Chains A and B, each alone.
Chain A
Amino acid sequence: MENKKLFADFSNGIIDRRIFLKGLLVLTGSLTLSGCLSYFYQESGESSRLDNLQLKNIAAAQRHLFPKTDTAPGAEQINALDYLQFVLHDQQISREDRDFILKGAVWLNETSIEDFQIDFYLLDFNQREKLFQKISQKTWGENWLSAILKYIFEALLSDPLYGGNPNSIGWDWLQFQPGYPRPTELNLYPKILKL
């Protein structure tokens, strides 16, 4: 119930994005997710980490959102999962935003178990599609899928030095000409913040 109210308040503009994301974390306690939070943080309490199940589920979600085809590279070819882990360790990105990625993966799997009685990564194509169609109608689901896509695009189209877009596979696919000079190890994010 509280969950629904939180999403409704966010959708209606009654609460802002940050309170919404914080609220999601508070609600964690009322969901059947005991122990999950311990996976999210290193001892520093800052970095957000994936456990094995989340890793498998997010990888499967990325593959479904961005599959390899005859013409397009897929999430695996662009190193989307490694790139996402770089994002999850980036403390310049708000902790709420990073935690939302992890929390969404937990809810995704909950929905999978509820509807199909198995973990998300074990679903076949049609089951995954059905589940994505379902959650994309919910505020959290649409926001989560959109966030995962956002970082897939960063992996696809940022400079290969960041770990995605290996050998410019994304740029080549979309016939995109990068700008010059390209970044080097010396002025790469987040190192550039130290200048």
Chain B
Amino acid sequence: MIKDCDVCIIGSGAGGSPIAFELASAGYSVIVLEKGPWFKENDFAKDELVAVRRSVYTPSLKQEFHVLETGKENNWKAQSTLDSGRNFWNGNCVGGSSNFMSGYFHRLKPEDFRLLSEFGAISGANIADWPISYQDLEPYYAKVEKIVGISGRIIAHPFQEPRSTPDFPFPPLQENYVSKIIDDTCAQLNFNSVPVARAILSQPHNNRASCYYSNFCGSYGCHSGAKGSARAALLDLAVKTGKCEIRPHSFVYHLTSDNQGKVNLVKYYDREGQTRQVSAQIFVVACQAIETSRLLLMSTGSKHPEGLANHNGQLGKNLIFSAGATGNGTIRLSDYPEDIAQQLKLPGLFVNRSLQDWYIANDSSLGGRVKGGLIDFLFDHANPIRRANSLKWEGDQLLWGEALQNRLQAGFTNERQLNFEVFNDWLPTDNCFVALDPTNKDKWQNPVAKVRLGYHQHDLKIAKFLGEKAKSVLEAMKLKNITTSVSGAPPANLVAGGCRFGVDPDKHILDPDCRAYSASNLFVADASFMPTGGSVPYTWTIYANSFRVADKIKAQL
């Protein structure tokens, strides 16, 4: 029987797009089904209302929502995001949330691939080694640098991961004067200030313009194409091959399987709500971790009574996020000489500094050698409405009138906020998973995802340790109003797990190639495969693994 295409990919973000690009470039026919719209670069204005303050890039909670369970052992409280107003979606459009990332790109370290054997078990955590090593993924990290386009510079430091090339293919982006102050301060503290690579072009590449330093990057779509979104960097090229068709506004609700257990059809609703379907030789699911588990759980069949690929009951289990801390301090411009203040005030230029000195920490307060994490420094995003809202409070007192106006004027004209973000492992536990909610339905009458958001106390201990290190830098810089915050609340945009890969079919959903053990023509290519997440943002690793999986699919076709 003739199939509609060789490969059908569900989800057009960082997980699905490298496969679309690689397969279409190799001459295979590809159909990509994307739930959201297809925004083009001209649609992306620097409009805070659109990008930040209204649900334009995410579904309306009235139509689609999650049920989130928070609490502690034996005391979990479920609440829908429709009731709480807490939006747990990321970007739903062609290219997915990669359109709206800031593009802080870090590789995992070799130790991240063997967390269990390197650091041992932790009670209450389901830590596991990966079935592949850093060396297996390294060529694909290098490939992402070239194809997606990563700008930066390599310096020697204790936690520099091994590389097959000496430096990044694109030079670093321009930096604000504050980067020099951070470097000088860290040198005084005997810390290694490390330049941060960005998935943002510093030079034109593949018909994409370089960054024009708009000052509106994170949460905003990129107007020049400089940001390495899956849409700009990969899908536009895939479509140009003539072998890749992208179908926006296509919500997939079921993958049907035959009596052998293999997937034979994808069923979806189009923009008008009509049911449509696609047949293919190979199917790839990459809807971001929560929605991937949800779709597979909904896709029951005679060989998959508990959900597609869920032969061992592990589907949706061991969901992980990124643990960490945040903090900030105020740079009061009037504290600096006029020429320095003017440089610090310049909008658009990047900070691009990190600390990795405690990626593996050896400290008596932590009980010796343990897995630590990463600290990134960045300016507060430019969003003026959000900034004004943050300035209307003095402690817990609401300001208004001239007092408020004076505060706004000082905040906007004489201050900049320097933030830090700590990334450390969110340990996988039995209390963090995705299931189908038994009662709540979305607008198509499908069960919504119910997500339990339990975390391990160890995560907070590491985050607090790293947060104090970051705080010491802000203090040494003599910033004002320094704050730090450590929380077990997960960031919705840094999610992985639910379909672990591994060598044991009894324990794992996917084999080391990210192929489903119980459905040999099904691959999962977003961050769902990750048994542990490392201590960096996931996007570079998702891209790299998807390029790796593309090679496995080519070999199978």
Contact = CB atoms under 8 A, between A and B. Distances in A.
Given A154-B53, A182-B46, A195-B39, A175 B402 contact: no
A153 B385 contact: yes
A18 interface: yes
A19 B84 CA distance: 9
A180 B47 CA distance: 9
B398 A17 contact: no
B45 A92 contact: no
B347 A149 contact: no
Contacts of B47: 158-159, 182-183, 187-189
A92 B392 contact: no
A87 B409 CA distance: 25
A147 B45 CA distance: 26
B402 A69 contact: yes
A6 to B, nearest CB: 15
A193 B82 contact: no
Interface string B54-72: 1110001010000000000
B388 A156 contact: yes
Nearest to A182: B45
Contact of A153 (B42, B60, B389): B389
B83 interface: yes
B56 A192 contact: yes
Contact of A92 (B60, B388, B405): B60
B214 interface: yes
Interface in B63-96: 79, 82-85
B37 A159 contact: no
A182 B44 CA distance: 9
A177 interface: yes
A158 B49 contact: yes
Given A132-B400, A158-B48, A189-B47, 16 more contacts: A67-B401, A67-B405, A149-B392, A153-B385, A153-B389, A157-B48, A157-B385, A171-B384, A177-B347, A180-B214, A182-B47, A187-B43, A187-B45, A188-B50, A192-B43, A192-B56
B56 A189 contact: yes
Given A158-B48, A195-B39, A69 B389 contact: no
A93 B47 CA distance: 17
Interface of B: 37-39, 42-50, 53-56, 60, 62, 79, 82-85, 214-216, 220, 223, 347, 382, 384-385, 388-389, 392, 398, 400-402, 404-405, 408-409, 412-413
Given A17-B85, A157-B385, A193-B56, A181 B409 contact: no
B408 A174 contact: yes
Interface size class of A (residues with CB under 8 A): 35 or more
A146 B84 contact: no
A66 interface: yes
Given A179-B220, A189-B54, A65 B401 contact: yes
User: 8 closest pairs, A vs B, by CB?
Assistant: A179-B46, A179-B216, A174-B412, A183-B45, A153-B388, A183-B47, A157-B384, A72-B405
Contacts of A171: 384
Given A71-B409, A192-B56, A136 B49 contact: no
B84 A195 contact: no
A181 B224 CA distance: 10
A71 B406 CA distance: 10
Given A72-B405, A182-B45, A145 B216 contact: no
Which of B39, B398, B409 has the most C-beta atoms of chain A within 10 angstroms of its own C-beta?
B398
Nearest to A136: B398
A87 B42 CA distance: 26
A66 B382 contact: no
B372 to A, nearest CB: 33
Contacts of B400: 64-66, 132, 145, 149
A178 interface: yes
A67 B402 contact: yes
A91 to B, nearest CB: 9
